[in-house]
Structure 1
Amino acid sequence: MIGKNSKRRVPTHSQCDLQYSFRAKRNQEGDDRKETYTGVSVAAMAVDDRFADLNPKRCVVLGGRGFLGRSLVLRLLQLGNWIVRVADSDQSLQLHNSESILAQALSSARASYFHIDLRDKHRVVQVLEGSSVVFYMDVTGFDVNNFYTCYNLIVQGAKNVISACRECRVKRLIYNSSADVVFDGLHDILDGGESLTYPWKSDNMLSELKAQAEALILNANDIDGVLTCSLRPSNVFGPGDTEFVPYFLKLARYGFTKFMIGTGDNLSDFTYSENVTHAHICAEEALSFQTVSVAGKAFFITNLEPMKFWEFLSLFLEGLGYQRPFIKLPANLVRYILSVFKWLYEKLGPRYFSYPLLVQFLHLASHTRTFNGMAAQKDIGYSPIVSLEEGVTLTIESFSHLARDSSFSQCCGSTEQSKADKLLGSGKVAEILLWRDEKRSFTYFLVLVWLFYWFFLSGRTFISSVARLMLIATLLLYGRGFLPSKLFGFPIQRMPASHFEISDTAVKDSVATAVYIWNRGFQNIRGLAQGDDWSTFFKISVFLYLLKLILSKLLTTLIGIGLVFAFMAFFVYEQYESEIDGLVDVLCTSLKEFVVYLMRISPVSISKLLHDHDKF
């Protein structure tokens, strides 16, 4: 449970003397972000000539505009003894209102921005020239579904960075890896340590490529004086997250997070983003003073507070107005569904099936993944500076714009007309089928059930049923005429003659409709008599044959199903409108792509025939 170790822990390791204690308070008005610091004032963190005596270190943050890269750049500038080069794939630097410290650093040359393509070794050398430390974060701006692009940017990019570090005499290289590199998606990991080996095979392409990049960087340790290490954060979340939190919030909008995979008892380790950036700073200090125990090694970075995955997810969902998971799905069923999505992804491509993100989420949601953080605490002096409870609270505040009430209004508490109400015409029928007045709707339902029994389930013919019904109606109407004005204290109202009259307009409309239907039918019959319209012939033949089947065998069943459907389907749709719309959208998109796939593999003659038919 969150709160067990809820107090913030500040490391006392001598290598991290420049660590900071802070508490961020965010005001979500647009993109603005306000922060109040204790211990070191913002003014002291800003550009100041007093830092000239500190002999600042020069570093490059590769991927400095990504989720973790932004946080790391901000922390380095706050420490005050760094000159930071921010490098990423964006052509130009666009600052947010919350990045005032970076803006001040850019204006005083304590920070600079470089556009970089990791596939271009010459450009990497230019960016790294003159720096002593390289923080290798995730570079933004590439398609995660394109294997060729991912391989060149992650694996070949790592080779280029290593080569550039050796050429530029960089002293320390810290790589931001992931705990996913030791997870195969099949087996649980309980209190895993750094001795875990890379899996032989993984369904997560990005994790497999990052494992290759990490191995290259660790094997390059102490070659030409470059000291390397790797950090493996687990399930990183925080303000500005672009993957983990937004992905399951997207699932929540479609109602998919109501389902829980397995028993829900699987544990996971999570890491708040500012703890990850803090670990990078500690690792850089440790590489300078305790080289033997740190260089060439990888360290798991977590909040040291493992908890149930679905409980963690529920905290976010409830904090943003969504319902916590309550429907448990068997793990084997989910694996089967995953195999279907994998087949669709392989056949139809990544246009509509974001399989890598889906498989990563399902694996995390159905397996235990906890890691032992003792090595990071002992060797690099890392301890979380933001507790899991506080990190969850700050992240929920930062994603308030994705809360349920802000994204769409709920049916129960909203005055906006629902789609179900619009489909039913917003009249008396809508009020009955949507159960606006439960007693009234239930009365109509019972009457219709009785009529269904009377005409279809009683065993009588239709004419006999009509005759008996008219006889009962006659007796009731005639008997009502003998009733007194009051019976047992209840007033008996007389039925006016207008109840039995039909207006001239209604009669004219009915006659006009009957004449129109007759004329259309006559035109069809005349076309059949001429023997020229084969299309009409087949349409009428099929229609009459289906009508024969329905009237002879299926009519009773269809009417019974339709009666129950009418009083249930629209009501259910109004309550779960967004979830049903999301599911229908996914199914329709999948069906369209499947038809395109069938057309692609079908013989040329069939495809040509369908294409020619579309022209006509």
Structure 2
Amino acid sequence: MRIFVTGASGFVGGAAVRKLVADGHDVRAMSRSEKSDAKIAALGGKSVRCDLEDVAAAHIGDAEAIIHAAAFVEQWGPRDAWRKFNVDGTARMLKATREAGAKRFIHIGTEAALFHGQHLRGVDETYPIAPNSPYPYSSTKAQAEQLVRDANAPGFETIVLRPRFIWGPGDTTLLPLIVQMARAGKFMWVNGGRSMTSTTHINNLIHAIDLALSKGHGGEAYFILDDGVRPMREMMSGMAASQGVDLGDKSVPGWLADTIGATCEIAWSTLPLKRDPPLTRFSAMIMSRDSVLNDAKARTDMGYRPLISVEEGLRALAAR
């Protein structure tokens, strides 16, 4: 199959390109720089020079399927960055894809699209998304997902995959940040790390992407998860231990983390501070709220089953 991938320089997009090429697909990927060109080539893909602000049908070419993994995922940034990339960029990708005649659009969503500050417990895909969330990442990913699902039409199927807490080899964001903070003595738990979380190993997400090329119902969203749920402390400690790092016992209560995050955002919005804030409202919220999800729909509609367990994944990380 001819497949076009966005976000190939990132964790998810890069892993997708590597696996799809290995499976014999003709993979082309959005590239914004020579550095990205080199990374895509190393993965076995073919780079197409464009970005989410100028992508057009000519860039998509004769691709049959699109995997849209690119997004602005930073905890802090310019006020318009999340909308520019997550909403406007997704709208532009949908338009280019339809005009190019591709038949399937797979969007990498997130459970964060449901958050407006609450716990998520036993949640499935009937739970409403939060396009008006106070957290820019959550609101814009919810709006992007709605655009994708609304675009579904005869001859143009759109599917949203919603992983939670993506982890595993090749992680360029979460694990490196945890290790960096711990080694600098800056890591602290929120509520002792007691919040319960579903997780998604990168291999399981890539397996779901592969399934979504031909399975799943158009216009639908699917949670993609590992088996089981765990306390945040157990999961993050296991990841850090795979790198020889102990996260310690320092902790702050959730209400205080929320207050610190809000205070930091006010300070960084009004003062000429160059570094990112040490904590944001979104980071504090994610660390202190339960996120226990149900992936029965993906198992029924797509035949999804995790390929790797959390225990196997942690052992593999430690062995690298």
Q: TM-score, normalised by structure 1?
A: 0.49
1:159 is matched with 91
Output the CA distance in 2 between the equivalents of 1:96 and 1:160.
22
Output the CA distance in 2 between the equivalents of 1:116 and 1:220.
22
Contact 1:66 1:140 in 2 (8 A): no
Call closer, same or farther: CA 1:340–1:331 in 2, change over 3 Å: same
Output the CA distance in 2 between the equivalents of 1:129 and 1:386.
35
Question: What secondary structure is seen at the aligned counterpart in 2 of 1:286?
Answer: coil
Confirm or deny that 1:374 pairs with 2:308. Answer: no
Contact 1:68 1:137 in 2 (8 A): yes
Confirm or deny that 1:308 pairs with 2:231. Answer: yes
Contact 2:149 2:220 in 1 (8 A): yes
2:181 is matched with 251
1:195 to 126, 135, 138: 126
Cα deviation for residue 335 of structure 1 reads: 2.3
Q: Which has the larger radius of gyration?
A: 1
Output the CA distance in 1 between the equivalents of 2:272 and 2:205.
34
1:50-89 to 2 correspondences below 5 Å: 57-80=1-24, 82-89=25-32
1:596 is matched with none
Question: What secondary structure is seen at the aligned counterpart in 2 of 1:174?
Answer: strand
Opposite residue 89 of structure 1, the aligned amino acid is R
Cα deviation for residue 182 of structure 1 reads: 0.5
Question: What secondary structure is seen at the aligned counterpart in 2 of 1:342?
Answer: helix
Cα deviation for residue 143 of structure 1 reads: 10
Cα deviation for residue 214 of structure 1 reads: 1.0
2:285 is matched with 363
Output the CA distance in 2 between the equivalents of 1:378 and 1:159.
29
Which consecutive aligned stretches of 4+ in structure 1 deviate over 6 angstroms post-superposition? 140-143
Deviation string for 1:23-52 (max 9, x for gaps)? xxxxxxxxxxxxxxxxxxxxxxxxxxxxxx
Cα deviation for residue 196 of structure 1 reads: 1.1
Contact 2:90 2:144 in 1 (8 A): yes
Output the CA distance in 2 between the equivalents of 1:381 and 1:394.
25
Output the CA distance in 2 between the equivalents of 1:361 and 1:302.
21
1:332 to 255, 275, 291: 255
The answer to which structure has the higher helix fraction is: 1
Call closer, same or farther: CA 1:148–1:358 in 2, change over 3 Å: closer
Output the CA distance in 2 between the equivalents of 1:262 and 1:61.
38
1:265 is matched with 194
Output the CA distance in 2 between the equivalents of 1:76 and 1:200.
32
Deviation string for 1:196-247 (max 9, x for gaps)? 1122643431222111111101000016x21101001001012221221122
1:90 is matched with 33
Opposite residue 368 of structure 1, the aligned amino acid is D
Contact 2:243 2:318 in 1 (8 A): yes
Cα deviation for residue 263 of structure 1 reads: 4.7
1:531 is matched with none
Cα deviation for residue 375 of structure 1 reads: 0.5
Give the gaps of 5 or more residues in structure 1.
1-56, 103-110, 288-293, 399-616
Give the paired residue count.
Answer: 319
Question: What secondary structure is seen at the aligned counterpart in 2 of 1:300?
Answer: strand
Cα deviation for residue 191 of structure 1 reads: 1.6
Opposite residue 233 of structure 1, the aligned amino acid is P
Output the CA distance in 1 between the equivalents of 2:40 and 2:72.
17
Call closer, same or farther: CA 1:202–1:245 in 2, change over 3 Å: farther
Cα deviation for residue 383 of structure 1 reads: 1.1
Question: What secondary structure is seen at the aligned counterpart in 2 of 1:94?
Answer: helix
Name the structure, 1 or 2, with higher relative contact order (CA <8 Å, separation 6+): 2
Output the CA distance in 2 between the equivalents of 1:334 and 1:144.
16
Contact 1:233 1:276 in 2 (8 A): yes
Contact 2:113 2:131 in 1 (8 A): no
1:67-216 to 2 correspondences below 5 Å: 67-80=11-24, 82-91=25-34, 93-95=37-39, 99=42, 102=44, 111-120=45-54, 123-138=55-70, 145-184=77-116, 186-199=117-130, 201-216=132-147
Question: What secondary structure is seen at the aligned counterpart in 2 of 1:241?
Answer: coil
**Sequence identity of aligned pairs in percent?**
24
Output the CA distance in 2 between the equivalents of 1:204 and 1:254.
27
2:204 to 260, 272, 275: 275
Contact 2:63 2:102 in 1 (8 A): yes
- Structural RMSD (CA): 2.4
1:383 is matched with 305
The answer to which structure has the higher strand fraction is: 2
Opposite residue 140 of structure 2, the aligned amino acid is L
1:456-495 to 2 correspondences below 5 Å: none
Contact 1:235 1:271 in 2 (8 A): yes
1:237 is matched with 167
Output the CA distance in 1 between the equivalents of 2:40 and 2:219.
36
Cα deviation for residue 193 of structure 1 reads: 0.4
Contact 1:341 1:353 in 2 (8 A): no
1:296 to 209, 212, 219: 219
Output the CA distance in 1 between the equivalents of 2:280 and 2:205.
24
Give the gaps of 5 or more residues in structure 2.
none
Contact 2:115 2:133 in 1 (8 A): yes
Contact 2:105 2:156 in 1 (8 A): yes
